[in-house]
Amino acid sequence: MKFVFADSLDFVDPAYDFIADRNGAGRAVHRDDQFPHEFLDVAPYDGILVSRGIVGDALILGKYTEAQLMRFRREGARRFLRYPKERFPDSMMMGDCGAFTYRNLPEPPYRAADTVEFYGDGGFTHGCSPDHLIFDFDDQGAERLPSEVPEDTRRRFEITQQNAAEFIHAAKSLGPRFVPMGVIQGWSAPSMADAAVGLAKMGYNYLAVGGTVPLRIEQIRRALAAVRDAVPQHVRLHLLGFGKIEQLADIERHGVTSFDTTSPLMRAFKDARKNYWVRSRTGELSYYTAIRIPQAIENNRLKNKALEGRINQEEARTLEKAALEGVRKVARREVGIEEALDAVMAYWDALNWDDEVSPSRRADSLNRQRRIYARTLEDRPWEGCDCRVCREGGVEALIFRNSNRNKRRGMHNLHVFHQHLCDFRADAA
């Protein structure tokens, strides 16, 4: 099973100075930054997915600046991402339309012809047909027929199929080395199977299962089983936006050949607890919580409090500094963890992170958080990892602070997940 990383300009500055908290001297955004496959010793994925919705254009505002967008279109995805085929042979450079970005529009803003042009300019090896998300998904035994679903749902199904029919035809201009992927959207396992049969008949040999982000693993399993049963064995399956990555065995059992996700990176700073990943001795993924020490001068919560006269900014900076020093001293074994936790929690208390007003509930929440952080500092997980993030940054990767630390932690997670996947593949072989 191939793991494709869905990029959204996830790079770090390799010269970032953690102590001064600033970028390397003269750093130019993107040019001097490094993507995970550049920063880490080994690329932690088998391919990269770029969504039109992330790149953006005149129709949909993306994450790229106008200059980046122009360079991307001019140079192609591989040069822009510095992910050359020579260095990463067999890697997938995959494109999709990013259906989530236009989910509220009556129909996709992209047509088959301009999508093919986008994939052609970008030099993609694989590209998805322009699909339209369907949101509701039937429970087992309660599957609705096409005549029973709302008109909008049926229309989204039909638009996705119609676009796929136009796309496979238009994609012929990209030559035989480009692999068109037909996207499956449906409201139930049977409707997804119908969609898959339709796409296979159009000539697709690679199908991408869409709309699975909000689904439970049981629903994904059911959808995959129905799709797999309905299409010939030579048709490959890709799972779009697969967040439940602990369930690798489930999807592999249903004949999925590739999936894309941002999960390992995103959970480093979006998850409340599972920020820093490790593998247990038995090969399971387990997690540590990163220690929140936000930048006092840039933190909006603190800014607002200062404006309201509830906290003095000088005081906040003193607390921030003590918290950082405490954690670093633990890493150097200069102080015990209780001393460091006192400083971390004093800063937390000043931030009143939970906006808890009742003193007793506030004390409870502080104690709970303190115990979670104690585990992180006691176990010293950064010492057990040999990836570049941990080797160079040590405990800095465990500090939840700014993009350079948070994304580094995300890259460490990609490294851990990649090892996990490699072992899984070795076991499955």
Active site residues per annotation = 96, 260
Of residues 231, 389, 398, 414, which one binds Zn ion by CB under 5 A? Answer: 389
Rank residues 173 and 286 by Cβ distance to Zn ion and give the closer one: 286
Q: Is 385 in the site for Zn ion (CB under 5 A)?
A: yes
Q: Is 399 in the site for Zn ion (CB under 5 A)?
A: no
Rank residues 179 and 278 by Cβ distance to Zn ion and give the closer one: 278
The pattern of x and - marking residues 185 through 224 that bind Zn ion according to CB under 5 A reads: ----------------------------------------
Rank residues 200 and 421 by Cβ distance to Zn ion and give the closer one: 421
Minimal distance in Å, beta carbon 327 to Zn ion? Answer: 17
Q: Is 94 in the site for Zn ion (CB under 5 A)?
A: no
Rank residues 208 and 268 by Cβ distance to Zn ion and give the closer one: 268
Q: Which stretch binds Zn ion (CB under 5 A): 56-64, 219-227, 316-324, 386-394?
A: 386-394
Minimal distance in Å, beta carbon 218 to Zn ion? Answer: 33
Size of the site for Zn ion (CB under 5 A): 5
Of residues 88, 84, 71, the one with CA closest to residue 31: 71
Q: Is 390 in the site for Zn ion (CB under 5 A)?
A: yes
Residues 6+ apart with CB under 8 A from 336: 330
Of residues 222, 236, 412, 420, which one binds Zn ion by CB under 5 A? Answer: 412
Q: Is 387 in the site for Zn ion (CB under 5 A)?
A: yes
Rank residues 238 and 412 by Cβ distance to Zn ion and give the closer one: 412
Q: Which residues sit at the interface with Zn ion, rule CB under 5 A?
A: 385, 387, 389-390, 412
